[in-house]
Amino acid sequence: DIQMTQSPSSVSASVGDRVSITCRASQGIRSWLVWYQQKPGKAPKLLIYAASSLQSGVPSRFSGSGSGTDFTLTISSLQPEDLATYYCQQANSFPYTFGQGTKLEIK
């Protein structure tokens, strides 16, 4: 299986801050990487697919980068509604695997 490791596990930031979350794959996955946002009690929501493509309807403050084994999700200017847990997932090969999640808190 491909292991996905996110860092940090949790982050606290202020409104307006730039926030970055990283995801590392245990082997190369080209650009087969997606980011989800999950708010408490809700289903996950797709933010970024194919490592850097913004899903329709997602605010442009979200962006993704990387390829191979190292990927980054960046929120350019944190908003209160961004309080959530963020997950990366590889879709390079079965079994698909997720990172352990990064909990984002607002200071």
Question: What's the min distance (Å) between Cβ of 88 and other proteins?
Answer: 10
DSSP bridge pairs for 36: 46, 87
Segment interacting with other proteins (CB under 8 A) among 18-26, 49-57, 64-72, 76-84: 49-57
Residue 83 is a binding residue for other proteins (CB under 8 A) = no
Write out the binding residues for other proteins, residues 11-40 only, by CB under 8 A: 32, 34, 36, 38
Residues 6+ apart with CB under 8 A from 42: none
In the list 52, 58, 98, 106, the residue contacting other proteins (rule: CB under 8 A) is 98
| CA 55 centroid distance within chain | 13
3-state helix, strand, coil in the chain (%, to 5): 5, 50, 45
Question: What's the min distance (Å) between Cβ of 19 and other proteins?
Answer: 19
Residue 96 is a binding residue for other proteins (CB under 8 A) = yes
Residue type, 77: S
